[in-house]
Amino acid sequence: AQSVTQLGSHVSVSEGALVLLRCNYSSSVPPYLFWYVQYPNQGLQLLLKYTSAATLVKGINGFEAEFKKSETSFHLTKPSAHMSDAAEYFCAVSEGITGFQKLVFGTGTRLLVSP
Amino acid sequence: GAGVSQSPSNKVTEKGKDVELRCDPISGHTALYWYRQSLGQGLEFLIYFQGNSAPDKSGLPSDRFSAERTGGSVSTLTIQRTQQEDSAVYLCASSLAPGPFSYNEQFFGPGTRLTVL
């Protein structure tokens, strides 16, 4: 079965600092990996996805993530945090082979950005 | 164009009552997914529709939960005899038909917040 582990339920950074949100996955088949963001009282918005092409994936709002098979990781980074980045972030995995794209989510990491 | 819409946005009900939650997917999206977001369990998959059929119902937590989709469009999630542990945000997502070795983005609606008193 596929699973995702997000380290740290809360991450606090100062505005302008590096953002690093950690995600490790477990999958017996080649995975598709995703990062979603959720702002208060809103649905989920896709930030970026890895679907077996380039291992360094660039997404919206200056975020990027690197797929590292040897480490089974897909950490999310942004060089300089902005106040508007404060939100909850979810890492997710789905199967790539069968085409059935049920998403399995991590428990989420709340990003806090201080001035 | 319009995104995924869900109604109602909020629902408060008494324990033991039945509730219906509605999802309107993006026009042309044949795949539809229901997820549940709760404090104790995080984000969980409930059910997947391709067209009007549901090839995967594995996430439905009990037989009190059911869902249908008619005309390949609108879907309704029904919870019978609601319990307090059913309190959660129910999210719907839709996408173009998924296929092997390809990916079609799931677009999420804003969710329905269900509170069972």
Local structure of residue B97 (DSSP, 8 states) = P
| Nearest CA among B109, B83, B91, B92 for reference residue B13 | B83
Q: pLDDT (tens digit, 9 = 90+) per residue, A37-51?
A: 999 878 899 999 998
pLDDT band at A98 (very low <50, low <70, confident <90, very high): low
Alpha carbon distances (Å) from B7 to A50, B19, B27, B32, B74: 32, 12, 17, 15, 11
Q: Do B98 and A99 touch (CB under 8 A)?
A: yes
CA distance B74 to A71: 41
Is the model's pLDDT at B39 over the cut of 90?
Answer: no
Q: Tell me the three state secondary structure of residue A84.
A: helix
Give the C-alpha separation, A47 to A101, whole Å. 17
Average pLDDT in the A17-27 region?
Answer: 95
Position A66 pLDDT exceeds 90: yes
Q: What's the pLDDT score for residue A106?
A: 94
Asked if pLDDT for residue A111 goes beyond 80, the answer is yes
B58-101 pLDDT tens trace:
899 999 999 999 888 999 999 999 999 999 999 999 998 876 66
Lowest mean pLDDT among A104-113, B85-94, B100-109: B100-109
Mean pLDDT over the full length of chain A: 91
Which of B:61-90 have CB within 8 Å of A?
none
- Contact yes or no for B26/B109 (Cβ under 8 A): no
CA distance A67 to A57: 8
Shortest alpha-carbon distance between residue B17 and chain A (Å): 25
The residue in chain B having the minimum alpha-carbon distance to the alpha carbon of residue A47 is: B105
Closest CA to B32 of B71, B1, B64: B71
